[in-house]
Amino acid sequence: MQAGTQVALRTTEDRPVDALPLVLVVDDDPDIRASLTDMFNSVGMDTLVFASTAELLKHDMPDRPSCLILDLRLPGSSGLDLQARLAEDGVNIPIIFITGYADVPTSVRAMKAGALDFLPKPFREQELLDAVAEALRHDRQRRLNDSERNEVRVLAESLTPREMDVLRGVARGLLNKQIAYELGITEITVKMHRSSAGRKLKSVSVADMVRKVELLSGKSGTAGGGAG
């Protein structure tokens, strides 16, 4: 809780309390922007509207639970383009498409590219609200996972290369002796690196180290043979 000096409702620049959800809207129709803003505000959600994809891209992605409502047809680059662009940039915000010109191949393409929902206009308010609720649920979960991984990543940045070498050995279930042999150093030195790495990662137990190393290295998680 770092509640600062300002009330954080409907502000966009500083970093508000985490729980307040934000809905981003990109639509070229001013009426829709206005009505969606009203609708989401009326249910206690923060909103941020844009008339084009370029406008949204100028903005920083919000650091709180959020989702993106995206019109398919837009001046300049389309909604699908934006979806692709965001994916490239590693932005994982959940996307709900809305469009008046819907056809099956396009909707399928959007869904395959990871969209969470695809609503042809006109739709009932409740449909969109449901979709948004679902999207926010997703985003909250995603942010949880991300923050966990990021915490570890931050801790891991202070590791020296050698400490990382040793950690990988530990995660593979090797004995200090074996790690020492592989690295061409003595067991003592391995212990040194290992305990130092453990301190930096704030892990006391081997179980912890294993999990953290796995989070770092892409979490594939081969539970392969007995390492004996």
Partner DNA sequence: GTCCGACCCATACTTCAGTATGGGGTCGCC
Partner DNA sequence: GGCGACCCCATACTGAAGTATGGGTCGGAC
| CA 65/CA 135 separation, integer angstroms | 9
Minimum Å gap between C-beta 86 and DNA is 35
- Asked if residue 185 binds DNA (CB under 7 A), the reply is yes
Position among 144, 188, 202, 219 found at the interface with DNA (CB under 7 A):
188
- Asked if residue 205 binds its own copies (CB under 8 A), the reply is yes
> 211-214 long-range CB contacts below 8 Å, 24 or more apart?
212/152, 212/155, 212/156, 213/167, 213/168, 213/170, 213/171, 214/171
Instruction: Return the residues of window 46-85 that contact DNA according to CB under 7 A.
Output: none
- Asked if residue 95 binds its own copies (CB under 8 A), the reply is no
Structure tokens belonging to residue 72: 């398919």
Position among 116, 198, 201, 213 found at the interface with DNA (CB under 7 A):
198
Minimum Å gap between C-beta 150 and DNA is 20
Q: How many CB atoms lie within 10 A of CB 65?
A: 24
Residue type, 45: M
Residue 6 per-residue DSSP state: S
Position among 49, 117, 176, 201 found at the interface with DNA (CB under 7 A):
176
What does the binding site for DNA look like in residue numbers (CB under 7 A)?
158, 160-163, 175-177, 183-189, 191-195, 198, 206
